[in-house]
Each structure stands twice: as structure tokens, then as C-alpha cells.
Amino acid sequence: MKYLQTFSLIHDVARAGSIRKAAEDMNITSSALNRQIQRLEDEFGTQIFERLPRGVRLNPAGELLLQHIRSQNADLERVRNQVADLSGVRRGHVSIGCSQGVNPIFLPEQISRYRAKHPGVTFSVRVRDRAAAEHDLSTFTSDLALVFEPIHLADFEIITSIPQPVCAVMAKDHPLADKPRLRLRDCLAMPHVIPSNEYGVRHLLELATRGKSRGLNPVVEADSFELMRRYVLYEKAISFQIPIGLGSGGDAGMVVRELPERDLPIGTLLLGQMRGRTLPVASAKFALQLAAALEELDGARA
Amino acid sequence: MKYLQTFSLIHDVARAGSIRKAAEDMNITSSALNRQIQRLEDEFGTQIFERLPRGVRLNPAGELLLQHIRSQNADLERVRNQVADLSGVRRGHVSIGCSQGVNPIFLPEQISRYRAKHPGVTFSVRVRDRAAAEHDLSTFTSDLALVFEPIHLADFEIITSIPQPVCAVMAKDHPLADKPRLRLRDCLAMPHVIPSNEYGVRHLLELATRGKSRGLNPVVEADSFELMRRYVLYEKAISFQIPIGLGSGGDAGMVVRELPERDLPIGTLLLGQMRGRTLPVASAKFALQLAAALEELDGARA
DNA sequence: GCAGAATGCTGCAAAATTTGCAGCGTGAAT
DNA sequence: ATTCACGCTGCAAATTTTGCAGCATTCTGC
């Protein structure tokens, strides 16, 4: 699409931070690019870039326009898929951002299930922390986001949500492994492994221990749920995860215990999209499937 | 905006029905236009127009694309207004489609009230039957629609709705003017004036009389609510209207009576917008004001 | 059944637009 | 003070778009 070059125009210049640099990136002269931008600003009626002595930067109007162009692009992609659809083949692409905790078990199964029905549909999965996943929605980098305890809900339209109590994970031969009713303070008395700041589980732990005498005192802090899960097999430590990231049976050698609500608030796992956006058919249908699966999961847990 | 010419390109050709005619309309050669369309189809990857021996017509893919372009355009307009907004002046334009019944009293007051607060905002009001008003939403010709008993609700996102019982309107000296409790069959026994087919009031009347012995037998059928309202002053007839179209006090010389629900289903007046669309600031704010006013109106009536 | 008219499409040259090159003035960093 | 990178502009070359004329095709009216 010819006129979509306006997109990469604004986008690339904004990213490069200067017209000359952007021009070099896209293999044209700076003067050509310069004039294109001037023409664009002229047609739009306002300045889009702030001219700094060191280059250019988007001004608020430019941010607004860029956002519009992004949405435009995403919607054109949707139309494309829809057109491909009506010519027979079920095509499409689903892009989803999700937290690490959801990644290893739940999502692969869901994707393969969907692709079994629609082999023409492709997927991209972006593993991000919750803030980045939300941001990707608003820049139309992802169609869907599956996140635990989101932060900004402004542009986030909730498709479905299920409660997810934080669970303690430990080795089968851990001293606490036999206690059927586990308390948070017991866990924290032991060596424990917790997620780094950007994760929702950490956030809930911080909330629960704020002002308490027994605070967080992790022996390991990590940004990999996989690592944390496996670590408890090596040292007699406790790590914290949410049920959806743990296989229904649980891995061999591990014990999983829900922590009671009075110790730790129950978190929420949300499936969401960009507010007000019309998703491509494939993404919308996949979202439906996810929502059903999540609700089923919640039903089974209760 | 340069690249928006693609819009009038597709739009005009579709409307003109042939490339040559469209080219003449826009004062260029048919060959130039022809090539633009070919290039566009090439870039888009699919045919957009059906080639008929007598001209061209949009194919389904083209319809989809046109719809996308319309939405794109409307959204760009929103961005424009938003940009104008942040440079200080509160500007904007609100376009609303409404039924005749709402037109004469309610809407003028609401518009003037809004403009008193924001003099920079302009309005266009399109008086349409409910089908046309809904259609205008989906083609982005109107931002808002205020309609009585809508038909297709597919693309119609309800902002607010209030019940509106149909009222009988007659002259003060009409034989039925003194009866406090009016029945529909009494009205239909008298000469009556009813709206033409496309209106919601007519629809409700049809529903209520279907299969009844005492059917509709209008002495006048009209598509002007103004005419019908005034007609009862000349002949001893009864006309039907909804409360919002009647001044609170009622015009001089007229009597208004609500018809009971068991005779005639209570209709609904809905304020709505195109599903999923982000309205321009001005329209969104005006919609809020309208919603508040409608709810207040409903509260006062009950 | 046949001329006439209208349609979409294409080769080629003219017109218009975009690009590249070189250079100017400006403000920040060294 | 000098250097450097930046945005911007005049002018000519390169590219793209347009107009013109003409082709094949299909429908219309007689």
C-alpha cells in the first residue's frame, strides 16, 4: 500500500530522533525526507515534530497522529484478513502478549487446539511483563494480552478474567510439604524465591507483607518463572506461582499449595484487548476460545 | 491530506458507477483514474471493482475496503479535533441523525445549551427515518443517532435509552378530550392520523392492531409529525406522537394523553453510536449531555 | 442485424512531482 | 573557538503521473 509509507515515515523519524539519521536508515537523502515531512505537516495543518537543535521529536499532536496511523494500519490488516477470508481460505494472524507465568503450559495447548481447526492462522507470542503487554496493545503490536494483575487499565478492555490465588511451590521433601494448610508467614520463614519487581505475583507479595514484621527476604530474586520453579528442587526453598502456570498434576517432585486469601489477596488474570478496537476475525475467535478455556479452568479449580 | 485521495477515488468511482464518469466528475482523464485504480488494486492484492460491460461496481472486498476507509477518515477527523483542542481552542463538529419526532423541541434546546458552553463547536442535524439514521452511523456520516424503535441493532451501540409511551394528541374540544383514561380502541373508532411506514410509532400501532377487529383506518397518513400534530386542530381527529416531541406544557388548543401499555407496547427512544467507534471529543461530550437530559426527562415523566 | 455509443484498458509523449546534490545558517558539545 | 550534526532550501536530474489517441468489447436503438 503506497500511502502507508506515511506510517514508516513518521514512525522511523520519531524512532531515529533525527531526519538525517532516519533518511540514512531508509536509504534516501535527508532533503527528500525533510520535504516529505514538511508536506505532511502542511497538509495536516500543524507541526508534528518539535525541532530541537539536536534533531527532532514528536510533539503531542504528532503522538496523537502516530497513534491514529497505528490504529489505521492494524485495521487495514484486519480488512485484509477479512478479504482473504471471503475468498475461501481461513487465514489470519494472532498476536498475543502474555506473562511468563502463562506461557509454558496453558498457551501452547490453546494455540495448537486453535490451529488444529484453522491451520491457515499463524501466531506470534510475545512474553512480556504486564506493563509491556499493555503497552503493546495500545501500539497495536499485539491483538491480545493475557496478564496477571494489570497496572493501567485505561486502554485495556477486559474480555474475561479469572481469579488466581498465589501458590507456594516447593520440593516434595520440604519441611512444609506435609502441612495441608500453609500460611504465608511460614513460607517467609523459610528460604524463598520471588519474582522481580515487574511481576504481579511480586506486587501481591509486597502488598501482603507491607508493615508486617515478617517481610520479604528472598534468597533468589529472578525474572524467570521457569528458573524459580525448578530452583526449589535444588535448595529447600519455596517459590510462588499462579495456578495457570502449573500443570494440573504438578511436576514430578514438587508440591503446590494455595495460600489462603487472608494472607495474600487473590490475584486476577485478565484477557484483554485495546479498548474500542475491532479485532481481526482470527484474533477475535481465538479470544473467544481462550475465554472459554479460562472459565472452564476456573470452574475446575473451585 | 494527500493520501486521502484514495478515499474519494474509490468512493466517487463507486458512486458514479463507471470510471469514465467518475473521471469526468473530478476533472481528470479516465486513463489516469483507471491507472490509479489498477495500482490500488495491485497494492491491495485483490480486485476491488467488478468489471461489468456497462461500468464497474464494488465487489465485496471493495465494500469492506470502502468501509475501512470511511472509518479511517472519521477517525482522522477526530484526531484533527483533538489536536485543535490541545492547542487551546475547543473546536469540533457534532453530527447527529434523529427522527422527526425528536427534532422540534428537545434537540434545539440541547444544542443551544451545549453551544453556550462551547461556542466553537458546530452541529449538523440530519432528520432521517430510523433506518437511514442507523445507516448514517455505519457510513460515518453521523456521529450520533437518536431514534425511536430502531431496526437493525448490529452496528448500533446504545449509549442510553428511555421508554416513550405513544400518546394520543387531539384538540381541546375533541369528544375524547375529557376522558382521563383513553383506550386505543376508542381512538381508532375516531378519525385518526398516523405516520407512514418508516416510523416507529406506526410500527407499534401496526403491532398493537394486528389481528384485532378494530384495525388502523387512517384518514390521513403522513411523514411529517409537524403536519400530523397540527392537523388535529382542523378536523376532529386523533394523531399519535411520542412525549419527547411534545412540549412539556403542550401546544395551545391540544390535549395529550398517554395510551396504556396493555393497549400499545411502550416504545424505546435510543441514543446510539457506531459500534466500537471512538467519537470525537465534541460528539462524545454532547452524547453525555444528551444522555443526562434524557434520563432527567424520563425521571420527570415517571 | 447492424450502426452507434459507452465502457475498460494500453502505448507514448508531455507535464508534474519527487529526489539528489551542494551549500547555508544555527545551536550544542568539545 | 572550533567542530559537528542538525534542519532547511535552490536547482537540476530522475521518477512518476497525466493526457491523448486508439483498441477491443458489450449493450442499445432502430
- B114-159 pLDDT, tens digit each: 988 888 888 988 888 888 899 999 999 999 999 998 888 888 999 9
For Cα atoms B198, B200, B201, give the angle at the middle one, nearest 5 degrees.
115
Contacts of B83 in chain A (CB under 8 A): 46, 60-61, 64-65
B21 CA → C1 C1’, Å = 30
Mean pLDDT for chain A overall: 87
Cβ within 8 Å of residue A242, ≥6 positions away: A101, A148, A164, A165, A166, A167, A201, A267, A269
Averaged pLDDT, A261-282: 91
Residue B249 has pLDDT above 60, yes or no: no
pLDDT band at A162 (very low <50, low <70, confident <90, very high): very high
Residue A302 has pLDDT above 70, yes or no: no
Question: Structural domains in chain B?
Answer: 2-65 (1.10.10.10), 90-163+268-301 (3.40.190.10), 167-265 (3.40.190.290)
pLDDT band at B223 (very low <50, low <70, confident <90, very high): confident
**What residues 14-53 of chain B have any CB closer than 8 A to a CB of chain A?**
39, 43-46
Contacts of A64 in chain B (CB under 8 A): 79, 82-83, 86
A5 C-beta less than 7 Å away from strand D? no
Binary contact (B75, A64; C-beta < 8 A): no
* Other CB atoms within 10 A of residue A71 CB: 21
B204: its cell numbers: 407499534
Instruction: Using a CB–CB cutoff of 8 Å, tell me whether B214 touches chain A.
Output: no
> Which chain D positions have some atom within 7 A of a protein CB?
5-10, 17-22, 25-28
pLDDT band at A164 (very low <50, low <70, confident <90, very high): very high
* Chain A, chain B: beta-carbon pairs less than 8 Å apart: 61
Binary contact (B277, A276; C-beta < 8 A): yes
Binary contact (A45, B76; C-beta < 8 A): no
What span, in angstroms and rounded, lies between the C-alpha atoms of B31 and B43?
18
pLDDT band at A165 (very low <50, low <70, confident <90, very high): very high
| Chain B residue with Cα closest to A71 | B72
Which of helix, strand or coil describes residue A302?
coil
Write the residue in B3, B75, B86 that is nearest to A60 by C-beta: B86
Nearest of B294, B283, B300 to residue B125 by alpha carbon: B283
What span, in angstroms and rounded, lies between the C-alpha atoms of B300 and B295?
9
Q: Per CA to C1' distance, which residue is closest to C6?
A: B54
> Which chain C positions have some atom within 7 A of a protein CB?
6-11, 18-23, 26-29
Cβ pair A19, A33 in contact under 8 A: yes
Instruction: Using a CB–CB cutoff of 8 Å, tell me whether A91 touches chain B.
Output: no
Binary contact (B61, A276; C-beta < 8 A): no
Which of helix, strand or coil describes residue A194?
strand
Distance from the Cα of residue A116 to its chain's centroid: 24
Residue A249 has pLDDT above 60, yes or no: no
B13 CA → D20 C1’, Å = 22
Question: What is the per-residue pLDDT for B61?
Answer: 92
Averaged pLDDT, A21-25: 91
Q: Which residue's C-alpha cell is 498475543?
A: A96
Binary contact (B68, A75; C-beta < 8 A): yes
Strand partners, A96: A125, A144
Residue bearing the bigger pLDDT, B298 or A295: A295
Question: What is the per-residue pLDDT for A87?
Answer: 67
What span, in angstroms and rounded, lies between the C-alpha atoms of A4 and A172?
58
Q: Per CA to C1' distance, which residue is closest to D28?
A: B54
pLDDT band at A2 (very low <50, low <70, confident <90, very high): low
> pTM score, two decimals?
0.73
| Chain B residue with Cα closest to A65 | B79
- A175-219 pLDDT, tens digit each: 888 888 889 988 998 889 898 888 889 999 998 888 787 778 888
Residue A294 has pLDDT above 90, yes or no: yes
Question: What is the per-residue pLDDT for B13?
Answer: 93
- A55-99 pLDDT, tens digit each: 899 998 999 999 999 999 999 989 988 888 776 567 788 999 988
- A215-244 pLDDT, tens digit each: 788 888 888 887 888 788 888 889 999 988
pLDDT band at B1 (very low <50, low <70, confident <90, very high): low
Averaged pLDDT, A135-139: 91
What span, in angstroms and rounded, lies between the C-alpha atoms of B101 and A223?
62
Averaged pLDDT, A115-144: 89
Instruction: Using a CB–CB cutoff of 8 Å, tell me whether B229 touches chain A.
Output: no
